[in-house]
Structure 1
Amino acid sequence: MSSTPAKILVPADDLRAFAAALLEKGGLSAEHARTTADVFVWAAQRGVDSHGTARVPAYLDLLAKGVANAHPKMTIESTTPAAAVLDADRAPGPVALTAAADEAVRRAHETGIASVGVRRTVHTGAIGYYVSRIAEQGLVGLGFVAGMPNMGYTGAQGAAVATSPLAIAVPAREHAPLLLDMATATVALGRIRQARANGTPLPQGAAATEDGTPTTDPERAVMPLPLGGAKGSGMSLAFELLTSVLVGAPIFAPFHAGDREHRQNALLVAVDPAAFGDPEAFVANVDDTLTTLKGLPVAEGAEGVFYPGERSAALAGERRAKGIPVAPKVWSQLGEHATRLGVALPV
């Protein structure tokens, strides 16, 4: 009887340096490689393996094919202090959205609230990272992303809208920040692939065949269904308007007219609590709210009462101390790229 190969534990700093070295050899500048690696390792630490170091080979492929621009000339356009548009020039998402988050924070400190739209980027990565970056500066962060249609829309046949995510981060003092990071799909595409590989059925109402017929058979499933039916598909469409259409780079309409060139757009918003009152009182009240939630009676059979981002923050602390587990298949892929690019594997 065969056993499942054990995952490889790699210290976070070593994994970050290794991923950055691979990405730099893949064509990114040293700074952009470090920025992109930061996003991947942040996701891996928090258990979001689909957006962790498993993304490194995919990004190397995007760079090799020229889908992602290794040397982007990003520009910022603005006609008002509280808003700007960052044209990414097809930079990898971590590069473009990290710059956009920092720009939103800078402007929000001056204007109280600021938004930065991101136009023409390539795969944004875990958007929880960017709103968390805003929250680290004591501001509230909100993020929306629109991408290529790969999910059903209630009442339509086939893939119609994207599994567009939403993320919100709220800083606290004693507690880890609240971090809500969710897609508009019931399950991720990666979950469908995983179910297919394992031969396990999918949850009812989670996925559909190519024509949009719901199925639990992973062999027939090709796309996820929207979270909450019309609610999830409506949110995805709204995010397309708030991101792509707002910055003059529509994806939805051109896609359905035959334009399948990969791209994504985003909108990041930073809100300074000081613009609404005492910022110290704000974080104190956030702590009080979270403490009150944690003190509610635990329902029968539940492990406890948790707020969004609490358990992933605890896991990140554990993985910082003990190392980040990397699946054998991913480690093998990273090793192949390391050999090809002349990068040493972490010991």
Structure 2
Amino acid sequence: MAHTSDEMRQYREAFSLFDKDHDDIIAPQELGIVLRSCGLSPSEADLQKIQQQVGRKIDFDTFVRVAQTFKANNRETEDDIREAFRVFDKDGTGYVSVAELKHAMISLGERLSEEEVDELIREADIDADGRYFIRFVNNLCNRKYQQIFSCHASTISKIDGNTNDLKTEQKEKTIPKDELFSFIVRCMMKVGTRPSHAEVLADNLTMADYRGHYSHGLNRLDMYVNDVRSGTTANDGNPIILKESPGTALVDGQNLLGPYVGKYCMNIAMEKAKKIGIGLVAARRSNHFGIAGYYSLKAVDKDLIGWAFTNTSPLVVPTRSKSQSLGTNPIAFAAPAENGDSFVLDMATSTVALGKVEISQRRGEEIPNTWGVNAQGIPVTKPQEVRGLLALGGPEESSGYKGYGLAMMVEILCGILSGSHFGPWIRSWKASTTEANLGQCFIAIDPNAFEEEFESRLQKLINYCRSLPPSESGKPVLIAGDPERAHMAKCDKLGGIPYPSSQIDFIHHLARTLKVDIPNIQ
């Protein structure tokens, strides 16, 4: 089967990113990352078998032959999936029942256990009456099921009927914060995480949902569970200070959970700021650290100004490119005002975080065309077609190059400065075969080292902005942190954090899988 010129261009582009010496050779351990960046889905068993066959070096021609094999398998599997669902979707509605799903898999020669079927269901959309949404094919994560359903989302958007506009009404249920915290700790300890590490992670994820950042709270728990369970994230240990001066430190995170490394680093930065006015700590060998605002708010609690940055897996397409080369690289900045008030900016340097695209896909919702692009670099509105995120600002015409510049700035502070992986050399999102080695940067500043009236002056500016007449009736002018304050007040009134039924289903599934008690759900 011949490759198209576009496919060959894509293969060469992906291969070149890892061909550091320009000798037309990549290392075997990089093969999986390069294949996945081309939209292919090798299993770990596949990769091990290939590495045994090809030896220690893989040239471009070998890579193309491997990619050709996987692409052929993908197309054959796609045809099988279409035919199976054409049989079971008798009415052409785009749905089959959950009970029929297992029979469909058996018809493909895949004998899945009840637990595996449950996992498939959780990875997809399921509506209130228990019928299985056909787009489950598009929603599978980088796990063993991609071996079965290795299809491109852009080609499997409908089967015998348009299902893209179907949405699910979900009734919300509430979980008290302390119940959610304890549940997360139980889950992480079940896979061997040290209790103190699990508690820091639970604090971070609970804060994310409490503040309304649902993309980075409970939504990410299974990622942390899988990273620890697979051994790609260490479950115990302590970060190490490699270099230190009165105002700076370089930390080796020892491949521990990102939130644990982040809290450790911010504590050092705050100690230095209290002593000399400023502290900057860079970390290498860290992992996904949850919401960046968690760390800047730690500084505010100590009457300090706080910054937090991290690089992430390459998901963002630089302006004028169609290749994912930079992460969403968030920036968090928080400063204390009077009487517990504060300015809290927590933002990605992409138009949105990937989690928002994932949530839109789970809900069957379209997205603005400024969020992401397809494999050809064209903006799309269907979340399942997104192959790269746009930098903050969107296309070049609307100043996307500014977001691109900010993402580069974060990459310099985190990846280049710390000695971690950076840019396209960071492992693919949710890949669990290699150490992430993310870079992070934390800064704390004592405002009293500058202006003693800092808090009152900031409060004056905050009050002024909030009092401005709104351009639209009923929509007051806000400052960064106000939407989160409103969400926290809502949670306090409800007695817990509200979640849609899909997240409640996820909790039940994870509890069954790990054999832990579910939280109190109201």
Range into which the TM-score falls when normalised by the shorter chain: over 0.9
Partner of 2:330: 165
Q: Does 1:327 align with 2:500?
A: yes
Mapped to 2, the partners of 1:35 and 1:122 lie a distance apart of: 14
Give CA deviations for 1:203-238 in whole Å, capped at 9, x if unaligned.
133210123222223342222111121111121112
Partner of 2:477: 305
Q: Runs of at least 4 residues of structure 1 off by over 4 A?
A: none
Mapped to 1, the partners of 2:434 and 2:333 lie a distance apart of: 29
Unaligned runs of 5+ in 1: none
Q: Does 1:233 align with 2:404?
A: yes
Q: Which TM-score applies when normalising by structure 2?
A: 0.62
Contact 2:215–2:356 (Cα < 8 Å) also in 1: no
Q: CA deviation at 1:333?
A: 2.4
Partner of 1:292: 464
Mapped to 2, the partners of 1:289 and 1:50 lie a distance apart of: 30
Mapped to 1, the partners of 2:178 and 2:363 lie a distance apart of: 32
Partner of 2:447: 273
Q: For 1:332, give the aligned amino acid.
A: D
Q: Which residue of the other structure, out of 293, 302, 311, is the alignment partner of 1:146? A: 311
Q: CA deviation at 1:128?
A: 0.5
Mapped to 2, the partners of 1:76 and 1:260 lie a distance apart of: 23
Matches within 5 A, 1:177-326: 177-228=342-393, 229-252=400-423, 254-255=425-426, 262-278=436-452, 281-301=453-473, 303-321=475-493, 322-326=495-499
Partner of 2:134: none
Q: For 2:264, give the aligned amino acid.
A: A
Mapped to 2, the partners of 1:35 and 1:255 lie a distance apart of: 24
The count of aligned residue pairs is 343
Identical counterparts, % of pairs = 28
Q: Which TM-score applies when normalising by structure 1?
A: 0.92
Classify the secondary structure of the residue corresponding to 1:138.
coil
Larger relative contact order, structure 1 or 2 (CA cutoff 8 Å, min sep 6)? 1
The structure that is helix-richer by fraction is 2
Give CA deviations for 1:89-140 in whole Å, capped at 9, x if unaligned.
1111111101111111111101101101111111111000100011110000
Mapped to 2, the partners of 1:37 and 1:154 lie a distance apart of: 36
Q: For 2:511, give the aligned amino acid.
A: A
Classify the secondary structure of the residue corresponding to 1:269.
strand
Q: Which residue of the other structure, out of 290, 301, 304, is the alignment partner of 1:136? A: 301
Mapped to 2, the partners of 1:135 and 1:307 lie a distance apart of: 16
Unaligned runs of 5+ in 2: 1-127, 130-167, 394-399, 428-432
Contact 1:148–1:263 (Cα < 8 Å) also in 2: no
Give CA deviations for 1:230-263 in whole Å, capped at 9, x if unaligned.
111121112111111101123226359xx97533
Mapped to 1, the partners of 2:489 and 2:355 lie a distance apart of: 25
Contact 1:124–1:264 (Cα < 8 Å) also in 2: no
Mapped to 2, the partners of 1:120 and 1:292 lie a distance apart of: 43
Contact 1:93–1:123 (Cα < 8 Å) also in 2: yes
Contact 2:216–2:355 (Cα < 8 Å) also in 1: no
Q: Which residue of the other structure, out of 13, 16, 27, is the alignment partner of 2:178? A: 13
Mapped to 1, the partners of 2:341 and 2:389 lie a distance apart of: 31
**Which protein is bigger by CA-based radius of gyration?**
2
Please say which of residues 177-186 and 193-202 is displaced more in the overlay. Answer: 193-202
Partner of 1:36: 201
Mapped to 1, the partners of 2:187 and 2:364 lie a distance apart of: 33
Q: CA deviation at 1:61?
A: 0.8
Classify the secondary structure of the residue corresponding to 1:329.
helix
Contact 1:143–1:167 (Cα < 8 Å) also in 2: yes
Q: CA deviation at 1:162?
A: 0.8
Mapped to 1, the partners of 2:262 and 2:444 lie a distance apart of: 13
Please say which of residues 266-275 and 323-332 is displaced more in the overlay. Answer: 323-332
Classify the secondary structure of the residue corresponding to 2:269.
helix
The RMSD of aligned alpha carbons is 2.1
Q: CA deviation at 1:302?
A: 5.3
Contact 1:12–1:320 (Cα < 8 Å) also in 2: no
Contact 1:243–1:267 (Cα < 8 Å) also in 2: yes
The structure that is strand-richer by fraction is 1
